[in-house]
Amino acid sequence: MLKNPWWVVVGAVLGLLVGNGAIMHFTFGVLLKPIGEEFGWSRGTVSMAMVIGLVCTGLMTPLVGILVDRYGIRRVALPFITLFALIVAAASLTPAVPAVFIAIYGLMGLAAAGQTPLIYSKSIVATFDDRRGLALGIAMAGVGLGVALVPQFTQALIGVVGWRGAYVGLGIITVLFAVPAVAFLVREPDRALAAATGEAPKVLPGLTGREALKTRYFWLLVVPFFALAAAANGTITHVVPLLTDRGVSPQMATTALSMAGLSLIAGRLLAGWLLDRMFAPYVAVVFIVTPLLGIMLLMSTHDTTMATVATVLMGLGIGAEVDLIAFFISRYLGLRSFGEIYGYLFAIFMLANGIGPFVMGVSFDKAGSYVPVLWVFAGGLVLAAVLILMMGPYIYPSKQDLARRKLAAQEA
């Protein structure tokens, strides 16, 4: 095991480059059309596979978190990653039966729960204390890199070996990147704390999952992160049709969406940097207000430049949420059952990711406009900002914060 703690971050970036989002979710739009054309399936039929896959990931993640807390990262993650890669490759064998394709994605979603940010966040929060925010921000930028690069790789594979070969290629790169990252770079939490303190604790500091569910801190996190995920992802998913409905050219609307992808990466890095320098609820409010401003701009402007700015603001909100979840858990609920607690919040996050785009579509179908649901999103974000400010002081502060408190007490 390499001694420099930043190798853990390198491992997380490599692993998340081929994480569940990049491999299963964001490649789907590239694969959807060629699959539908070969089998004559509607886009709705093909898309149902993704819905089932995301639901299965959300349901399975809390169980993976419990297993990781009990048995360690590698014992759980490596089998899940291998199984995930095999199922992705097995999608290349899909017959002309929609139910089989949907079932494959259901299984893929279950296995994908072992290749989410949970695995890497657990190691990072144990390895880093004072620079925890920056480490999380850099690590989670791996998700953004995967979103930017893996769909392009998939499109190139389709051009050479077709969509079936593309699934095989995605399975291969998952193994090539994630397995070595977890096996050689990602530290087990107890060993990470031992490296940082010189002595491994018998029990990691923090609450059990059951204890966490009884605290106000957990529930004060649920609503803000649900509202943020639903609003940001719901709006981004429909931003191209929303803009083109307002007279923006399809090319400019797509460019705005690409800018959102870049701001996603920037949001994760900026959030991580700020978390080490500011009180976490204040940082969270910044990244709740930015998509709120984006929504207000989208509802009020027909100008292409301002619409692009609004989309970038939405991307910043999407980019920060995964960093913030991990950091808040570590400071308010501790590391003892970090995986289980993260699993609960990640499941809620995945649910919000699905509900946001759905209610946007319903709003347009029923009212002929996205504006009604955008007002609902805006109200939800205002409530989220209020609730996150009610968190209070850290329960598990960094050593640096403890030293400041001690000094302040002595001076008083």
Cα–Cα distance measured from residue 312 to residue 327, given in angstroms and rounded to the nearest whole number? 23
pLDDT for 191 beyond 80: no
CB atoms < 10 A from the CB of 73, how many? Answer: 25
What is the structure's pLDDT at 262? 76
Q: Could you report the per-residue pLDDT of 83-128, keeping only the tens digit for each?
A: 999 999 999 999 999 999 999 999 999 999 999 999 999 999 988 9
What is the structure's pLDDT at 202? 59
Using CA atoms, how far residue 128 sits from 64, 118, 207, 333, in Å, is 22, 16, 19, 16
Q: Could you report the per-residue pLDDT of 45-93, keeping only the tens digit for each?
A: 887 888 889 889 989 999 999 999 999 999 999 999 999 999 999 999 9
Query: Most distant CA pair in the chain: distance in Å?
Result: 75
Q: Which residue, 117, 378, 151, 112, is CA-closest to 272?
A: 117
Between 221-235, 240-254, 327-341, 393-407, the lowest mean confidence (pLDDT) is in 240-254
> What 3-state class would DSSP assign to 290?
helix
Report residue 194's pLDDT band, with 50, 70 and 90 as the boundaries.
low
Average pLDDT of the residues in 298-327: 80
Q: Which residue has the higher pLDDT, 33 or 2?
A: 33
Cα–Cα distance measured from residue 7 to residue 5, given in angstroms and rounded to the nearest whole number? 5
How many residues make up the chain in this entry?
Answer: 412
* Entry pTM: 0.84
Q: Is the dihedral of CA 195, 199, 202, 207 positive or negative?
A: negative
What is the structure's pLDDT at 283? 93
**Cβ pair 250, 190 in contact under 8 A:** no
Mean of per-residue pLDDT scores for the chain:
87
Using CA atoms, how far residue 229 sits from 109, 145, 195, 328, 352, in Å, is 19, 19, 35, 16, 6
> What 3-state class would DSSP assign to 334?
strand
**Cβ pair 115, 178 in contact under 8 A:** yes
Report residue 323's pLDDT band, with 50, 70 and 90 as the boundaries.
confident
Average pLDDT of the residues in 5-34: 89
Report residue 400's pLDDT band, with 50, 70 and 90 as the boundaries.
confident
pLDDT for 151 beyond 80: yes
Cα–Cα distance measured from residue 357 to residue 350, given in angstroms and rounded to the nearest whole number? 12
Q: Which residue, 16, 1, 27, is CA-closest to 178?
A: 16
Report residue 29's pLDDT band, with 50, 70 and 90 as the boundaries.
confident
What is the structure's pLDDT at 44? 76
Between 67-71, 147-151, 159-163, the lowest mean confidence (pLDDT) is in 147-151
Cα–Cα distance measured from residue 103 to residue 87, given in angstroms and rounded to the nearest whole number? 11
CB atoms < 10 A from the CB of 399, how many? Answer: 11
pLDDT for 406 beyond 60: yes
**Cβ pair 79, 114 in contact under 8 A:** yes
Q: In sequence order, what E strands does 122-217 have?
A: none
Cα–Cα distance measured from residue 301 to residue 185, given in angstroms and rounded to the nearest whole number? 47
What is the structure's pLDDT at 379? 96
Average pLDDT of the residues in 327-351: 92
What is the structure's pLDDT at 210? 92
How many percent of the chain have pLDDT more than 90? 51
Report residue 1's pLDDT band, with 50, 70 and 90 as the boundaries.
low
Between 17-31, 180-194, 266-280, 281-295, the lowest mean confidence (pLDDT) is in 180-194
What is the structure's pLDDT at 285? 95
Cα–Cα distance measured from residue 328 to residue 331, given in angstroms and rounded to the nearest whole number? 5
pLDDT for 277 beyond 70: yes
Between 143-152, 227-236, 257-266, 375-384, the lowest mean confidence (pLDDT) is in 257-266
Burial class of residue 4 in the structure, from the number of CB atoms within 10 Å of its CB (0-12 exposed, 13-18 middle, 19+ buried): exposed
